[in-house]
Chains A and B, each alone.
Chain A
Amino acid sequence: MNISRIKTVYVKEMIDLLRDRRTLIATIVVPVVLYPVLMLFSVQAASVQSGKVAADRISVGILHEQDQTTCTTLLSQEKPPTDKTEDFTPLIDLVDWVIVPNLEDAVKSRKVNCALTVLPTEQTAPLTQQVSLRIYVQRDQLRSRSAATRIEDALIGIAQNRVRDRLAQLNVDRKTINPIVIQQTNLTTSSSILGLILPLLLILITVTSAIYPAIDLTAGEHERGTLETLMVCPVPIIELVLGKFMTVVSIALLGATLNLASVAATVYFGGLTDILNATGGPGGAGDTFPLSVIPIILLALIPFAVLTSALLMAVCGFARSFKEAQNYITPVIMAVLVPGMIANMPGTQLQGAMLVLPVGNMVLLLRDLLSGAELHLSQYLMVLGSTCLYAGGAVALATQTYGREVVLFSDTASMRSLLRRNLFRKRDFPSVALASLYVACLFPAWFYLQNIMQKQADGQMVHILKLTAIAMPLAFVLIPGVLLWYWKINIPKTLALSLPSPRYWFAAVLIGSSMWVVGAEVFAFQEMFLPIPQALIDSQAPLEKTLAEQPLWLILLFIAVIPAVTEELLFRGFLLSSLRQNCRPWVAMILVAGIFALFHFLVYRFAITFILGMALVWLCWQSRSIWPAVLAHFLNNALAVIRSRTPQVNEMLNIDMEATHLPATVILGGLAILALGLWLARKPASGAQATE
């Protein structure tokens, strides 16, 4: 990878785009000027409208004059509230009575705003006399709703006055009938109101800012006839794509930043706070836009911008003209909008399935940041981690579609040839795109599947384990296997199924049997700044119980054998072999270990699974075989099961289960065994050099 060439492409594309009026309008003018203006305008219009409606005359339907007399008499008793004696207009002065034959029809046909009828009541003594009224209202109509509310409010006021008078006559203290007084303090702030609209707006702006550059840099090159000459340059496609892709991301982020800045400025200087407060309720003192969250929001938007830019570039890469690209983009925008809208529904929380919902999780994260909700590290990690994973898949897809000959030169029929098996060439290893796309799709699917399985199993841990034992081979091995077969990729080579030399078996035994020591110490260290909540520890109780109750062979099968085989085949086989061909060793190893850790869905287990993943990748990388990693993974998990079932093991090693740290002897012994294992695997297997 030549960074300087990527920079050349980037600089050229930035200059080219920024010289274009359309980019400037779409990216700078629209977010800076149009959106705040629209926002102010719509908020003001809404407040003006609701204020106007609240002061307008209302027409009330009534069946006959007798009812009108009753109602007029009643309403004429309205008195100004104690805190608002000036400018008080009694409602009776604003009501136009209309006698109609059918009250319901009159309201429905909007002949009147609402309608009133007096219901028959018993005639009793004045002190217990009751008037019963029915209001006909169409609540989805602003004017009807407002009219009914005004009448209700007036009647409630009158009723309260009557109660007061009657209580005075009876010499009863008002407190007798008001044993509880409730007061409400509204903590709505302008930023929490913004939190309802701004995240979706920001996400839309990021997407819309990316659309034009994404089309211009892909389909645009095609249309202008410059693509062919670019592809003839001695530059690997990946560098061209990265340069262009960085341009699209930059423009998308530029749009989002400018938009956020202008919204912040509108709120901060433009008096939006007052308007929002007027419509949303009284705000607290010092209620201003939380400027400190802006950098965090922008940071959070980076992986999102990467995701959408890559997705747009991948899609536009198929198009040969602007027009065609615009057709392809509509579904992408829908794909972004729908999860965004789902997340934006009131009451949705950033937890459970929402944590990994593409786009939706970002909307919720931004909303919570703006409303000042306390966010946990694991929430950040899941949202940003999953978005990065999806972004990686999309980038891989973009590099695959861009410059492909079927896309470059052929007609629409050629699109199908991308998926036609008889046109595939046999290959030894899968492309990064195939592997990372599958892993990116599997991530949310696996998360949802786990949730579904938990529901299905109704909390029965054994059932969860059984369902997982079926789902894991399917999702981690069978489907990737079918993909490999379909794409005519050498399965034994990709999954590194060849047997290694004995040295690596030994290394695997040593690493697999000592990793738990590292794990325990990492946990102890992590506890200092990321303590595991008690609720989580409690939730593990059923698992512990199941581990203790079920036969050992079954537990070993569920916890050690199946995960070891299936996870190794997916991560150290399928994923690693694709990255191995295209990345530096350390990049590939860190990516595989990181994604492996992310798939465990728990922030507390991230560090330990990452370290275990690194050791396993190292074993697989050096031995060029999956089996030592499978063995080490199996041993690691099996030892955890055995230690939890047989306390004697811990006693033998002098381990106090209540103590934070392991005994020094165990730590030193474990580290020595691990080091020996890593040392044994220090040399790559013969033939490894030749193929790299």
Chain B
Amino acid sequence: MNGIIADNLVKVFPTPDGTEKRAVDQMTFHVPKGEIFGLLGPNGAGKTTTLRMLCGLITPTGGRAIINGYDVAQNPMAVKQSIGFLTANTGLYQRLSVRDILIYFARLHGMSKPEAKDRATELCELLNMQDFASLRCGSLSTGQKQRCNIARSLVADPPALILDEPTLGLDVLSNQIMLNFIREQRDAGKTIILSTHYLDEAQSLCDKIGLIHEGKILIQGTLKQLQDHSGQDRLTNIFLQLVHNLPPPGSLSPGSLPSRKLAHGEFSVQGGPSDTAPQTDSLTTHAPDDPA
């Protein structure tokens, strides 16, 4: 079966005090071929852990992940062959040229030397990198590095792309490169899952959205479905409403929700001006943009 499936994924981490933390709890979703699924949530919600389990970078404590028909636990190499992985802060080998890096990763994906060279040339043309293809990565600009990274993730022409916070910390131009890339890949029929906490970006990019909080998916569906279900217009408000309607998970009480992470503006920067902040009683005194 094509696409990406997470089936009751669970990940438990040990904590320094000897207890355990359920970073991901019973996560279930399905991303059909040719769609973009956005995993949205604040920092520490479990987005990155989920994506790492999908890539086979970490072993799930429970549940299954299936990518392009391969079970990650049973057939990790086939899964790794069918995914491209990218994050905003992925590094490059400073002393290798763009071409060297592309050839290296192509070879690691099982291509022969001539195939790898051809693929590198092809990607350099596709992403318009001929001018700096033979320069060492240490001397490239951020945008050029971003393009090189994108090329690297596409080196094996994978059917699925896993993008962990692909735009985090990027400047406007690099951000634009990344967003265009994601749309083009979707149009080319690839299955894409991305995590972000920029809700606006998700709103404009994703076919389906899953809102996650404390390791659990609160709700998933198209933007329209989410809006209809909650009666709220903006993703920020939908998210906050969902969190507040939940029975208090752990020690979290509704009053303490706009915690340091939320109050620092992950939602507010991209989430619109403060006058659109949720007007529910419990949040008026702790609106996300409230400097307090």
Contacts and interface: CB of A to CB of B under 8 A. Distances in A.
A111 to B, nearest CB: 61
Contact of B14 (A9, A19, A423): A423
Given A15-B100, A233-B108, A405-B59, A226 B14 contact: no
Nearest to B12: A423
Contact of B55 (A8, A232, A411, A413): A232
Nearest to A16: B95
Contact of B92 (A226, A409, A423): A226
Given A224-B94, A228-B57, A414-B14, A8 B83 contact: no
B181 interface: no
A463 interface: no
5 contacts: A8-B107, A15-B96, A226-B92, A229-B91, A405-B52
Interface string B151-165: 011000000000000
Interface in A211-242: 224-226, 228-236
- Of B14, B15, B16, the most chain A CB neighbours within 10 A belong to B14
Nearest to A243: B108
B57 A231 contact: yes
B38 to A, nearest CB: 20
B260 to A, nearest CB: 18
B80 interface: yes
B100 A409 contact: no
A19 B109 CA distance: 24
B14 A420 contact: yes
Interface of B: 13-16, 52, 55-59, 77-78, 80-81, 83, 85, 87, 89-96, 100, 104-105, 107-110, 136, 152-153
A686 interface: no
Contacts of A226: 90-93
Contacts of B110: 5, 234
A410 to B, nearest CB: 7
B93 A228 contact: no
Contact of B104 (A12, A236, A405, A416): A12
Contacts of A420: 14
Nearest to B81: A234
A73 interface: no
Interface of A: 5, 8-9, 12, 15-16, 19-20, 224-226, 228-236, 405, 408-414, 416-417, 420, 423
A464 B90 CA distance: 61
A5 B108 contact: yes
A226 B108 CA distance: 14
Contacts of B78: 234
A447 B206 CA distance: 65
A139 to B, nearest CB: 55
A8 B108 CA distance: 7
Contacts, number: 85
A412 to B, nearest CB: 8
Contacts of B153: 229
Contact of A236 (B16, B77, B85): B77
A8 B58 contact: no
Given A232-B57, A234-B108, A423-B14, A225 B93 contact: no
B16 A234 contact: no
A232 B87 CA distance: 12
- Of B91, B107, B108, the most chain A CB neighbours within 10 A belong to B108
Contact of B108 (A19, A235, A417): A235
A643 to B, nearest CB: 54
Contact of B95 (A20, A233, A235): A20
B15 A413 contact: yes
Contacts of B89: 225
Nearest to A416: B14
A19 B93 CA distance: 11
B109 A234 contact: yes
A19 B87 CA distance: 27
Contacts of A20: 95
Nearest to B112: A4
A470 B235 CA distance: 71
Given A19-B95, A229-B85, A8 B90 contact: no
A417 B93 contact: no
Contacts of B152: 229
Contacts of B136: 19
Nearest to A425: B59
Nearest to A20: B95
Contact of B83 (A232, A235, A416): A232
Contact of B52 (A409, A411, A413, A417): A409
- Of A16, A228, A229, A409, the most chain B CB neighbours within 10 A belong to A229
B97 to A, nearest CB: 10
Closest 10 CB pairs of A and B: A225-B91, A413-B16, A234-B80, A224-B91, A405-B58, A232-B85, A19-B95, A233-B108, A417-B14, A234-B81
A229 B80 contact: no
Contacts of A411: 16
A229 B102 CA distance: 12
Nearest to A233: B108
B93 A16 contact: yes
Nearest to A414: B14
Given A229-B85, A229-B91, 5 more contacts: A229-B90, A234-B109, A235-B80, A405-B52, A413-B14
- Of B92, B100, B104, the most chain A CB neighbours within 10 A belong to B104
Nearest to B92: A226
Contact of B80 (A233, A409, A412, A414): A233
A25 to B, nearest CB: 15
A233 B93 contact: no
